[in-house]
A and B are shown apart, each in its own frame.
Chain A
């Protein structure tokens, strides 16, 4: 009776030991895989592409067609609080003060400048997600619902997002918002669904002055390469080391 009990116990022990060891091996290897592939996207892009956008401040006329097209293409709520891209108007006054406005994201154009003082210079600055190579929003996502694709686009997996809003807080460019319909984070995707069909992002498609130029930043010859060749290029908040993939030409220092 007693001998029987001991035998059963030792059998269970051996079994548990074996299963535990067998279980630990795949566990370790998955961690290894995740770590390796995270590094891949960082250094060596699988598709051999890295999408980026050039924005020429000197061409932008503030018509807001990009904002309108973006909302129609991506079913963004048509209220003045949710934008995947928007246009800001900067006015530097004679007093040195800088005024920034963006009524309804610039979607219905801009009203005449209010005479709060003589304007020294004034210009429009289109904004959108910068698709950072070193994206703070991707780093803070607790569940891996926001990520950088192999071709360098930062996307949100809305089926996996838990709606914690960490990424909205983390984005230094204010490019993310909480979609009231899906209750998840939402943002510019560079129109990833259009890229996959060989089309340009909707905002680039409708821009009447070609203030937005889209392409592969690694390409040897493209409109974007030409843009890089002939303009002085700036990115927003370079000091944050986010390495944005949206590049501005003719950017004024007051734009943040």
Chain B
């Protein structure tokens, strides 16, 4: 073997040794045990302290409140959703007191009206709905059904009432189109009010031959709308608000 090759081999092997030594020195313990990462990192993340104790932890002491909540619309809202993280409260055996939000701003986070919220979710207009009063004067947050039966549709349907008030249908009562059983006031989601189902329901006022004031716009139900339902194009709470 030529001398220069031998010398080259020596250099290469010295470098290889250096590499191996440096590698064992730099690569942290447990690296590669589960994958291309430090195995110890899993433990250090898994053992971080918990702030939210979880929904079952509250039951040990507050089962009475839970009983009330279980039969209410708030049954699926966990305690810590409103009262905040509870682990400290538990560890200090109740010395560290949890927050109980009492201002209107808090309830409105969920129950303030927004068109982006799913239909059917109970929403109010915080400006129109019993202004200034704290929500808890009428509603118990653990069983939020109102103790008094709402007198007017606008108590719950504030936004629709407001929209309708500025529309050509302002003078129509809600019950003109929505046949509402008395039970709906007590049990709003179990017993629902009626809705117009056929074109003829609008025709009571808007058909050519319908009785009533001349100012009511009339249409020919045979030819208008290609057989679509009226509310496929017209929003009944604010029909034809914009002249195009």
Contacts and interface: CB of A to CB of B under 8 A. Distances in A.
Q: A and B: real partners?
A: yes
Interface of A: 13, 16-17, 19-20, 23-24, 26-27, 30, 33-34, 37-38, 40-41, 46, 58-65, 69, 72-73, 89-91, 108-110, 112-113, 119, 122-124, 144-150, 155, 157, 159-160, 189, 192-197, 199-200, 202, 205-210
Contacts of B74: 208
B91 to A, nearest CB: 14
A40 B35 contact: yes
B85 A89 contact: no
A123 B114 CA distance: 9
A19 B9 CA distance: 13
A157 B38 contact: yes
A38 B116 contact: no
A30 B55 contact: no
Contacts of A69: 52, 80-81, 85
Contact of A38 (B31, B36, B85): B36
Taking each of B31, B84, B115, which has the highest tally of chain A beta carbons within 10 Å of its own beta carbon? B115
Given A193-B47, A202-B51, A58 B118 contact: yes
Nearest to A27: B20
B85 A33 contact: no
Contacts of B35: 34, 37-38, 40-41, 147-148, 150
B157 to A, nearest CB: 17
Nearest to A69: B52
Given A72-B84, A147-B41, A159-B38, 6 more contacts: A20-B12, A60-B118, A62-B117, A160-B28, A205-B55, A208-B78
Interface string B54-91: 11000000000000000000101110110011000000
Contacts of A119: 115
B37 interface: yes
A110 to B, nearest CB: 6
A148 B42 CA distance: 10
Given A123-B116, A155-B45, A197-B50, A209 B121 contact: yes
Given A91-B116, A199-B50, A61 B42 contact: no
Given A65-B109, A144-B31, A23 B10 contact: no
Nearest to B119: A58
B14 interface: yes
B41 A159 contact: yes
B13 A20 contact: yes
Interface of B: 6, 9-10, 12-14, 16-17, 19-20, 23, 28, 31-38, 41-42, 44-52, 54-55, 74, 76-78, 80-81, 84-85, 108-110, 112, 114-118, 121
A40 B33 CA distance: 11
8 contacts: A23-B20, A69-B52, A72-B52, A73-B50, A123-B118, A149-B42, A159-B44, A160-B37
Nearest to B121: A61
B25 to A, nearest CB: 13
Contact of B116 (A24, A62, A208): A62
A114 to B, nearest CB: 12
A37 B118 contact: no
A208 B79 CA distance: 10
Q: Sort A-B residue pairs by CB-CB distance and give the 8 closest, nearest first.
A: A20-B13, A147-B37, A157-B41, A193-B48, A196-B46, A122-B116, A23-B20, A206-B81
A123 B118 CA distance: 8
A204 to B, nearest CB: 9
Contacts of A72: 51-52, 84-85
Contacts of B31: 144
A122 B54 contact: no
A193 B46 contact: yes
Contacts of A16: 10, 13-14, 17
A69 B54 CA distance: 12
Nearest to A161: B41
B16 A23 contact: yes
A171 B198 CA distance: 51
A24 B18 CA distance: 11
Contact of A63 (B45, B85, B109): B109
A59 to B, nearest CB: 7
Given A62-B114, A62-B116, A206 B52 contact: yes
A112 B117 CA distance: 12
Contacts of B78: 205-206, 208
